[in-house]
Amino acid sequence: MKMAIKARSFRDAKAQAKSNPELVWWVFMRLSGTALVLLTLFHLFKNHIATDEAGWDYEAVASSYADWWNKLYLFALLGLGMMHGGNGLRYVIDDATAKNPVARFWMKSIAYTLIGAALVFGLLALIVKIPVPGVG
Amino acid sequence: MYKGREGQWAFFLHRLSGVAILLYLILHTVSIGSTMLGEEVYGAVHKLYELMPFRLGLIGVAGAVAYHAFNGLRIVAMDFTSWGVKYQRQLWYAALVMAALFMLLTLYANLPRLFPDIFTYKTIWGR
Ligand code: HEM
Ligand code: HEM
């Protein structure tokens, strides 16, 4: 039994949703996904095409963190990416462990722990003041 | 929902790319965020990024993100519009082309940086 909604329109999704949260997640995947198109592709363009990835040494990253608009951008990328990816992984685990509730429990526990830890780490990196060499 | 041969491939690739990007996002957040632990720690982590297999892998990450993004837009179009359903097959090929173009652009920009002796052309972004 699949938990994720496999609908092809909002009306079908509403009819198939077993619970309200499941419908909210269905809508969230589509909204966050649309926002992530711009967030990820522009991020890749700026950091991987227009600049050399190898040039991102400590100083470059620290200076980029010093800009609050950039931090806001990264915050949205981090938050939406982790929530969208985390919920997507839940769909995948639900499908893969349809007949095995024990495996489902463990896979979800490990996945959520890893994602949660990375999210907290990433948020901290955005909150903590990181000194830029030569500037302080 | 996902009907026909293309639909199966579209679904499988969307899943594969989604999980791969999530894995990369976790590693990437830890590696970039390690700046808060100081220059030495970041430097040690960043050494990994200088390894050739890793740098080539990043171009694959760019392709995976682009495929997932454009195919994701196709899914959204199918879910909310009637033309999205009608042209879903054509839209999938469009998504593949867009993803390939984005990956080629990434490759074009990075080949002179990766192999300066072989690829000596200059891009507008420099090295
Ligand atoms: C770039 C823009 C993106 C768009 C347009 C997009 C769109 C979508 C859509 C529409 C779905 C289907 C959701 C459903 O079945 O209800 C989905 C699933 C998924 N997405 Fe994304 N997404 C994007 C970025 C990302 C990112 C950055 C990640 C990872 C961090 C990610 C990971 C996943 C995963 C793991 C799934 C589940 C795949 C499955 O159920 O087969 N996506 N995405
Ligand atoms: C593969 C090529 C990529 C490169 C070279 C790259 C490079 C960077 C750099 C240099 C930063 C730090 C500062 C800044 O951007 O201003 C950063 C931060 C970040 N990147 Fe990327 N990125 C790449 C791909 C991605 C992808 C595909 C995602 C999302 C799925 C992503 C998500 C993030 C997030 C969330 C942060 C902020 C982390 C934090 O401080 O918590 N990156 N990236």
- Structural domain count of chain A: 1
Q: How many whole angstroms separate alpha carbon B12 and alpha carbon B18?
A: 10
Q: What is the pLDDT averaged over residues B66-86?
A: 95
CATH of the domain at A117: 1.20.1300.10
The per-residue pLDDT for B127 is 60
Min Cα separation A51/chain B (Å): 7
ipTM beyond cut 0.90: yes
Closest CA to B60 of B99, B31, B95: B99
Position A2 confidence tier, pLDDT thresholds 50, 70, 90: very low
Kindly identify which residue of chain B lies nearest to residue A74, measuring between CA atoms: B29
Query: Quick one: pLDDT band at residue B125, thresholds 50, 70, 90?
Result: confident
Interface test with A, best of B11, B13, B19, B36 (most A CBs within 10 A): B36
Q: What is the mean pLDDT of residues B26-45?
A: 96
- For ligand 1, the distance from its centroid to the CA atom of residue A33, given in whole angstroms, is 6
Residues of B in contact with A51 (CB under 8 A): 125
Mean pLDDT of chain B: 93
Q: Across the interface, do B1 and A6 touch by the CB < 8 Å criterion?
A: yes
Query: What mean pLDDT comes out for the span A88-116?
Result: 97
Burial class, B17, CB count within 10 angstroms (exposed 0-12 / middle 13-18 / buried 19+): buried
3-state SS of A42-93 is: HHHHHHHHCCCHHHCCHHHHHHHHCCHHHHHHHHHHHHHHHHHHHHHHHHHH
pLDDT at A3: 53
User: Is residue A5 a part of any domain in this protein?
Assistant: no
Q: What is the pLDDT of residue A100?
A: 96
Task: For chain B, list the domains and their CATH numbers.
Answer: 5-114 (1.20.1300.10)
Domain span including residue A50: 10-127
Confidence grade of residue A136 (pLDDT, cut at 50, 70, 90): low
Under the banding of pLDDT at 50, 70 and 90, the label for residue B1 is: very low
Inter-helix orientation angle B88-114/B4-33, to 10°: 40
Predicted pLDDT at B3: 52
The answer to whether residue A16 sits within a structural domain is yes
Which chain A residues are within 8 Å of B35, Cβ to Cβ?
58, 61-62, 65, 125, 130
Which long-range CB contacts under 8 A does B27-34 form with residues at least 24 apart? B29/A78, B29/A118, B29/A119, B29/A121, B29/A122, B29/A125, B30/A118, B30/A121, B30/A122, B32/A61, B32/A122, B32/A125, B33/A121, B33/A122, B33/A124, B33/A125, B34/A125
Record the pTM: 0.94
Structural domain contains residue A4 = no
- Cβ–Cβ gap A122/B43 under 8 Å: no
Over the stretch A26-42, which tens digit does the pLDDT of each residue have? 999 999 999 999 999 99
* C-beta atoms of B29 and A114 within 8 A: no
Backbone dihedral region for residue A100 (phi beyond 0: left; psi -120 to 50: alpha; all else: beta) = beta
* Residue B41 pLDDT exceeds 90: yes
User: Is A84 a domain residue?
Assistant: yes
Determine, yes or no, domain membership for A1. no
